[in-house]
Amino acid sequence: MLKLDLLCKSFAGHSVLEDIHLDLRQGDRVAVMGPSGIGKTTLLRIIAGLDTRFRGVRKTPDEIALMFQNPTLLNWRTAEENLRIFHPDAGEREVRQALKQVGLEEKASHYPQQLSVGQQRRLALARCFLTAAPLVLLDEPFTSLDPSLRSEMLSLTREFLDQSNSTMVLVTHSHDEAIALGARCFQLFSEKKKSAELVAI
């Protein structure tokens, strides 16, 4: 369902990633790890189709859900509208159910700034999983959360993934997160800076 043969990605003539090969099936979960600046986000952006300037071949489903460290909510839209605007085909029941699942049923008409940080993060999670996209890409969405919110977000994410059977690619610095989500680790090595290897955990 996701196949990437990335031969080379460079910025201004400087090679950042080379020879990365991914072949994932529906329901697979992988975590891309490695030191800061190694190219994890660059790789995720290529998989997402946000960066098309690379040498290689990418094959993904049309529908891809994305979640970043920053919740990227629209502050002038209510919680419910923040879900609807990204999923215009979603039904009333689906939207309600998604809000309920993240404990925001009573906050449907609140604006993001009327929500706590944790509620905003949970809303972003609900938005990401609302339509059970076949491919879900997560770029450090659990970083800099307090421990209880992080653990809550991880449980909710696992719940959503179990329900949707989406394929997940997570960028993270944390083995614990990979384990909590049942993901295999895919390590980008700094010394080579170019090739990737699958590391079982």
Ligand X SMILES: Nc1ncnc2c1ncn2[C@@H]1O[C@H](COP(=O)(O)OP(=O)(O)OP(=O)(O)O)[C@@H](O)[C@H]1O
Q: Which is nearer to ligand X, 80 or 139 (CB)?
A: 139
In whole angstroms, how close is the CB of 135 to ligand X at the nearest point? Answer: 19
In whole angstroms, how close is the CB of 11 to ligand X at the nearest point? Answer: 4
In whole angstroms, how close is the CB of 189 to ligand X at the nearest point? Answer: 12
Q: Which is nearer to ligand X, 46 or 128 (CB)?
A: 46
Q: What DSSP element (H or E) covers 22?
A: strand 14-24
Residues near 177 by beta carbon (within 8 Å), at least 6 away in sequence: 31, 142, 154, 170, 183
- The residue ranges that bind ligand X (CB under 6 A) are 11, 16, 34, 36-42
Residue 14 pairs with which residues in a beta bridge? Answer: 11
Q: Which is nearer to ligand X, 8 or 16 (CB)?
A: 16
Measured torsion, CA atoms of residues 3, 16, 190, 29, in degrees rounded to the nearest 10: -20
Q: Which is nearer to ligand X, 15 or 165 (CB)?
A: 15
Helices 147-164 and 92-101 pack at an angle, to 10 degrees, of 140
In whole angstroms, how close is the CB of 132 to ligand X at the nearest point? Answer: 27
Residue 18 pairs with which residues in a beta bridge? Answer: 8
